[in-house]
Copies of this chain bind each other. A is one copy, B any other.
Amino acid sequence: MSKVTSMKQAISTAISDGDSVYLAGFTHLIPFAAGHEIIRQEYTDLEVVRATPDLIYDQMIAAGCVGKVTFSWAGNPGVGSLRAFRRAIEDGVPNPIELEEYTHFGLVMRLYAGAVGLPFVPLKTFSGSDLPAENDNIRSVQSPFGDEEVYAVPPLNPDVAVVRGQRADENGNVHLWGIPGEHKEAALASDTVILSVEEIVDESVIRSDPNRTLVTADDIDYIVEEPYGSHPSYAQGYYDRDNDAYLNWDEVSQTHESTQEWLDEWVYSVADRDEYIRKLSSDRLLDLQTGNAYSEPINMGEN
């Protein structure tokens, strides 16, 4: 049975209300299309986890999908703060949300512990900061070799992860290049994994360069081929970041009402990512095109 499906189908099968969900991607290859599909399907009470709950989590919060955010940096990168996130915390609009807060390193190491099956991992951070006092999942541990104490975090195993890559074969062996962020750890730590890629390619493309593989078929449950699936974030070599969209969000999200209007226009009244992309002006799409700069190939040898 093929794993290749639509985002609509993948989300509706994989996610239930109340699930913990990790949409992976650190500044690059952020699964915006998956987030919009979650909003369209009107999920509630999700625990959304992400080092950088940027615009896509702000939109999910504004849409009322979220009961809890586990995170390490909540801002509009390069622009300012996340207004819907702040409205939820400061004013309980549209609903109060619970927070569980880490540093980037702390959260990534929780995913890593989840991906490698350890009950805890030590890390050198948090000491001297006020964060451990606010989060019982940050505890100290003494080295069994000498007196040194360091902090530790427990594994994080989200119910569902959505990860992206530039290209995958139809089994789910996936290549990612540019900034890898935490896509790999998120995929390997989560129970169910939705993979969304810019292109599905022949298996021989992936297997010509196995060192580039992020995760393999065995860890992927659903595959969605979705060009521009990260807009307004970017996909290295495919399209650039749409910076105007990030700036515009700062305006759009000024009030709950203006945010709802934007969601109506760009999410609820749009069927899927394809329709969303067609709705963008061609000027805007053209501005995001990148020229070509191919890597020097490697020779694997004919064995």
Interface: A297 (CB within 8 A): yes
New A-B contacts (6) at CB < 8 Å, excluding given A177-B300, A295-B298: A137-B145, A208-B293, A209-B295, A211-B212, A237-B300, A294-B298
Give every chain B residue within 8 A of A150 (Cβ-Cβ). Answer: 118-119
Interface-central residue, A120, A144, A178, by most chain B CB under 10 Å:
A144
Asked if A284 is at the interface of the complex by the 8 Å CB criterion, the answer is: no
Docked Cα-Cα span, A303 to B203, in Å, equals: 29
Contact indicator per residue, chain A 117-156, by CB within 8 Å of chain B (1) or not (0)? 1111111100000000000010111011110101010100
Please, how many angstroms separate the alpha-carbon atoms of A122 and B122 in the complex? 8
Cβ–Cβ < 8 Å partners of A233 in chain B:
none
Closest to A295 in B: B209
Question: Which one of B117, B139, B145, B208 contacts A294 once the chains associate, using CB atoms below 8 Å?
Answer: B208
Which residues of B have CB within 8 Å of A139? 144-145
- Copy tally for this chain in the complex stands at 2
Per-position 1/0 for A172-190, Cβ under 8 A of B: 0001011010000000000
Q: A211-B180, A211-B212 are in contact. Are A236 and B300 (CB under 8 A)?
A: yes
Number of residues from A at the complex interface, CB < 8 A: 48
* Contacting residues, chain B, for A41 (C-beta < 8 A): none
| Interface membership of A81, Cβ < 8 A | no
A159 within 8 A of B: no
Q: Are B212 and A298 in contact (CB under 8 A)?
A: yes
A302 close to B293 (CB less than 8 A):
yes
Inside 8 A of A117's CB, which chain B residues have their CB?
124
Interface presence of A79 (CB below 8 A):
no
- Nearest CB on B from A123, distance (A): 8
Q: Is A148 a contact partner of B177 (Cβ separation < 8 A)?
A: no
- The yes or no answer to A230 lying at the interface (CB within 8 A) is no
Q: Would you call B145 and A301 a contact (CB within 8 A)?
A: no
Q: Which residues of B contact A118 (CB under 8 A)?
A: 122-124, 150
Q: Are A122 and B124 in contact (CB under 8 A)?
A: no
* Interfacial residues of chain A within 85-131, with CB under 8 A of chain B in the complex: 117-124
User: What residues of B have a CB within 8 angstroms of the CB of A124 in the complex?
Assistant: 117-118
